[in-house]
Chain A
Amino acid sequence: MTNEELFEKMYQAILKGEKEEAASLARISTEKNISPLEAIHRGFVRGMEEVGIRFESEEMYLPELVMAADAMISAMGVLEGEIKKGAERPKRIGRAIAGTVYGDIHDIGKNIVCTLFTVNGFEVIDLGTGVPTDLFVEKVSEEKPDLLLLSALLTTTMPGQREVIEALTRAGLRNSVKVLVGGAPVSQNWADEIGADGFGRNAVEGVSIAKELIG
């Protein structure tokens, strides 16, 4: 198989959301001593870009997007080890930390957001659900992300979003990161009230607002 053929297969594996196939193609590329960055950009990322285009044009739906992202993550799992050995890092348009606030264990919405951000070229660090306020602050300090994505599904846990923003201010980190809030009870009014930088009614809107904010 030529390198070109391999890249084409990588592209197809992402497009079809084939997780195992994507990982196995990633391994083949390392065996062939192809640079991980080349494999990512000429193979897998092209697939993700095509998925993004097809999603926009309504040829693909969310489940296919999630499957493509899973395939991408599985390929990256293989290639990341290789990347760390070298100095080069894949180009991403931004870094985001995501999590559901303390006291709230709902994660489906947050997971969809993480997937869509990943598909759209963001590096996403997912802290999971029920994330303590201090952990958000600590991770923002350590990882220096462009974006912090805070999810809450309950009216009783929504105030956790305000607490995180206040804690970031106290830690002197508020201006270092753009904060986006989301979740069923969350509104633009709420985002304004707590001093968030943005609010997405759904994951797709969240991505476009994020791009504007860091663009």
Chain B
Amino acid sequence: MRKMEDRVASIQPIKSKLRLKILDESDIRAIDETALKILGEIGVYMPLERALKTYAESGASVDFKSQRVRIPADLVKTSMGRAPKQYTLAARNRPDLDLKLGEQKATYFNNGGCASSTIDFVTHERRPSCKDDLAKMAKIVDYLPIFSFYWPIVSATEHLKSSTLHELDASFNHTEKHIQTETVQGEIQTRYAIEMASVIAGGRENLRKRPILSSLICGIAPLGHDKEALEAALGFAEAGIPVGFMSMPTMGATAPASQAGALAMGLAEVLSGLVLIQLVNPGCPVYMSIISAIVDPRSGEYRYSSSFAQVTNAASVQLAQYYGIPVYSGASFGGDAHELNTWQMGRENLYLPFMEVMVGADLCCSMGLIEAVNLFHPARVIFDREIFHAIQIISQGIEVNSQTLLFDTIRQVGPRGHFLGQRHTAEQLPKLSPSSILFQRSKTVGQRYEDPVKLAWEEIEWILQNHKFPELEPGVQRELKRIIKEAEWELGIS
């Protein structure tokens, strides 16, 4: 088995020195103006009485029958002005694992989610996902610094209606890093999810001060929201838990077949959610996300890794920056490939995270999934780490100073010499050649080719067998189980 090093959890956000702008200022203004026009004239479907009332009381035009809200531009601007520009997503015990959002200095990565199938850790066969997969992945996330926070990566499908709470239970129990739920929905589940987080944080007030849990709410493009998702958003917001709204415009199907149109519509959709949060709890930490895709013009399948979609997703970061709020911008999300270690997989998963760090996204997800979010492939995590390291190196650009220009060394070697025997070379060359499981280099005698997928599995197995992390107090563990039981009773699950 490949041996790795023992270590405590750490995080390694990418701090890109390279900068990229996809939209210029007039593009951003035009997209924003169109989004505000969409909100004011077309409106958004909001199927929750409380949300409609909140909007009606705040001066929006609300049609209670069709559940449509038309939001004037000044209400959008005033409300968004109340959203904090910077805040912290806290880790369970250690501030050095905290995520500082809105500073535009670092991009924090996490794993993708939430798939419904897993490649089994032992048999390597495909099967429906379960709670134990979540626990194992949480442990991997805890170990690998490339992960700054954890999304429950798969669904605890065996628990049906209470699956989202079991997902949190497995997550909190196996990593100290920040947890972000993208699946908790509905008033009941949200109430119990907050209770679980409070127990770990040491009470509601502590949770508010150091939110160890944040939430991501997905709208339903075009221009709609889900009732249970809105219930979750309001519940989390009232508890002071950071709430993000994500729009997933699929060009050609749930959005116009145009990148600018998809951005304007996506922005309108997320703003309709974020403004609601600011009306309910002014100053609540929020973030936004627009993750576009295209629909396959023949099969109707979701194509996330289209290059048209990827550059659109990176551009959405600039829209969030325009509004002065943190942004979660998706990376590969697993891409569309059906096999690991293929040309397609590599192509799909490099560009977007690379653009994201250069455009200054706060949060970025990618790792661990294939088949467009449907399948968790544990070995992929190690492949993703390779991409992450490549991006980290490239995004640092080139350092130019007397220590790096090395005039004296060049003089010493002079014409027709070589640099291999130089102390500087001995120190620096290995750093320029980090180890990789993907690259097949020429082998010295006796070495043989090793399948990267096999090597990746060995690393995963090492982590699962060897990584130790501080477990929750037994009392807290019991309390989480009790809360889930109570929730299941209220949900009518015996």
Q: Which A residues fall within an 8 A CB radius of B?
A: 55, 58, 61-63, 105-106, 108-109, 112, 116, 155-156, 158-159, 184-185, 187, 189-190, 201-205
In the bound complex, what is the Cα–Cα distance between A62 and B115 (angstroms)? 27
Question: Does B196 sit at the interface, judged by CB under 8 A?
Answer: no
For B163, the chain A residues whose CB sits under 8 A away are 155-156
Within the complex, what minimum Cβ distance (angstroms) separates A129 from chain B?
Answer: 10
| Contact in complex: B128, A203 (CB < 8 Å) | no
By beta carbon, the residue of chain A nearest B227 is A105
Cβ-based interface call for B477 (8 A):
no
Question: Whole-angstrom distance from the CB of B258 to the nearest CB of chain A?
Answer: 13
Per the bound structure, the CA–CA distance linking A163 and B269 in Å amounts to: 33
- Are B299 and A155 touching (Cβ within 8 A)? no
Q: Which listed residue (A108, A156, A185, A205) contacts B160, Cβ 8 A?
A: A156
Is there contact, CB below 8 Å, between B254 and A108?
yes
A205: which B residues are within 8 A, CB to CB? Answer: 299
30 contacts between A and B (CB under 8 A): A61-B298, A62-B295, A62-B296, A62-B300, A63-B257, A105-B226, A106-B220, A108-B253, A155-B116, A155-B155, A156-B160, A156-B161, A156-B163, A156-B164, A156-B183, A159-B160, A184-B372, A184-B374, A185-B115, A185-B116, A185-B117, A189-B126, A190-B128, A201-B301, A202-B300, A202-B301, A203-B299, A203-B300, A204-B299, A204-B300
Residues on the A chain within 8 Å of B299, using CB: 62, 202-205
Q: Which residue of A lies closest to B117 (CB)?
A: A187
Shortest Cβ gap from A56 to chain B (Å): 10
What is the chain B residue whose CB lies nearest that of A162? B160
B297 an interface residue at 8 Å Cβ cutoff? yes
Q: How far apart are the CA atoms of A155 and B184 in the complex, in Å?
A: 12
Q: How far is the CA of A106 from the CA of B220 in the complex (A)?
A: 8
Chain B residues whose C-beta falls within 8 Å of the C-beta of A55 in the assembled complex? 298
8 extra A-B contacts, CB within 8 A, seeds A112-B300, A190-B128: A106-B220, A156-B160, A158-B157, A184-B302, A184-B373, A185-B374, A187-B116, A189-B126
Residue of A nearest to B300 (CB): A112
Docked complex Cα distance between A45 and B226 (Å) = 38
Kindly state the separation between the CA atoms of A112 and B185 in the bound complex, as whole angstroms: 27
Interface string of B4-43 (1 = CB under 8 A from A): 0000000000000000000000000000000000000000
B300: A residues at CB distance < 8 A: 62, 109, 112, 116, 202-204
Question: Shortest Cβ distance from A42 into chain B, in angstroms?
Answer: 29
Q: Closest Cβ of chain B: how far from A187's Cβ, in Å?
A: 6
Flag if A155 contacts B114 (CB, 8 Å): yes
| Interface residue? B53 (CB, 8 A) | no
Contact at A63–B252, with CB atoms within 8 Å?
yes
Q: Does B50 contact A (CB under 8 A)?
A: no
Contacts of B183 in A (CB 8 A): 156
Closest residue of chain A to B116, judged by CB?
A: A185
Majority SS at the chain B contact face: loop
> In the complex, which residues 179-224 of chain B have their Cβ closer than 8 Å to any Cβ of chain A?
183, 185, 220, 224
Separation of A112 and B257 alpha carbons in the complex (Å): 16
Q: What chain A residues lie within 8 Å of B160 (beta carbons)?
A: 156, 159
Q: Which residues of B contact A105 (CB under 8 A)?
A: 220, 224, 226
How many interface contacts (CB-CB < 8 Å) are there between A and B? 67
CA distance A186 to B250 in the complex (A): 20
A62, A106, A109, A156: the one contacting B298 at CB < 8 Å is A62
Bound-state CA distance A204–B295 (Å) is 14
Q: Which residues of B contact A58 (CB under 8 A)?
A: 298
State how many angstroms separate the Cβ of A162 from the closest Cβ of chain B: 10
Residue of A nearest to B299 (CB): A202
Q: Which residue of B lies closest to A104 (CB)?
A: B226
Chain A positions within 8 Å of B389 at CB level: none
User: Within the complex, what minimum Cβ distance (angstroms) separates B169 from chain A?
Assistant: 16
Chain B neighbourhood of A109, CB < 8 A:
300
Alpha-carbon distance between A109 and B221 when the two chains are bound, in angstroms: 13
Asked whether B485 is an interface residue with its Cβ less than 8 Å from the other chain, the reply is no
Give the shortest distance, in Å, between A63 (CB) and chain B (any CB). 7
A44 to B461 Cα, complex, angstroms: 61
Residues of A within 8 A of B298 (CB): 55, 58, 61-62, 204
> What is the CA–CA distance of A177 and B416 in the complex, to the nearest angstrom?
83
Q: How many whole Å from B185's CB to the nearest CB in chain A?
A: 8
Kindly state whether residue B482 has any CB partner on chain A within 8 Å.
no
Complex Cα gap A205–B257 (Å): 24
Contacts of A189 in B (CB 8 A): 117, 126-128
Give the complex CA separation of A105 and B373 in angstroms.
19
Residue of A nearest to B254 (CB): A108
Q: Which of B114, B116, B185, B257 has the most CB of A within 10 A?
A: B116
Separation of A205 and B296 alpha carbons in the complex (Å): 14
The answer to whether A158 and B116 touch across the interface, beta carbons within 8 angstroms, is: yes
In the bound assembly, the distance between CA atoms of A22 and B373 in angstroms comes to 41
CA gap between A175 and B250 in the complex, in Å = 38
Residues of chain B contacted by A156 (CB below 8 angstroms): 155, 160-161, 163-164, 183, 185
Query: How far, in Å, is A16 (CB) from chain B's closest CB?
Result: 18
A202 contact set on B, CB distance < 8 A: 296, 299-301
Q: How far is the CB of A188 from chain B (nearest CB, A)?
A: 10
CB-nearest residue of chain B to A190:
B128
Which chain B residue has the least Cβ–Cβ distance from A186? B116
Residues of B within 8 A of A203 (CB): 299-300
Cβ–Cβ contact B297 & A62, under 8 A: yes
Q: What CA separation (Å) do A105 and B185 show in the bound complex? A: 14
Given A108-B254, A156-B163: A61 touches B297 (CB 8 Å cut-off): yes
**0/1 string, B103-122, CB within 8 A of A gives 1:** 00000000000111100000
Assembled-state Cα–Cα distance A156/B115 (Å): 11
Query: Which residues of B89-138 are within 8 A (CB) of A?
Result: 114-117, 126-128
Closest chain A residue, CB of each to CB of B164 = A156
CB distance from B290 to the nearest CB of A (A): 17
Q: Which chain B residues lie closer than 8 Å to A108 at the CB level?
A: 250, 253-254
Residues on the B chain within 8 Å of A158, using CB: 116, 157
Minimum Cβ distance to chain B for residue A68 (Å): 14
Q: Which residues of chain A come closer than 8 Å to B296, judged between CB atoms?
A: 62, 202
- In the complex, which residue of chain A has the Cβ closest to the Cβ of B228? A103
> Which residues on the A side are within 8 Å of B161 (C-beta)?
156
Residues of chain B in range 328-372 having any CB-CB distance to chain A below 8 Å: 372
Chain A residues positioned under 8 Å from B128 (CB to CB): 189-190
Given the complex of chains A and B, what is the CA–CA distance between A116 and B299 in angstroms? 10
Interface string of B162-185 (1 = CB under 8 A from A): 011000000000000000000101
Q: Across the two chains, which residue of chain B brings its CB closest to A185?
A: B116
- Cα of A63 to Cα of B298 in the assembled complex, Å: 9
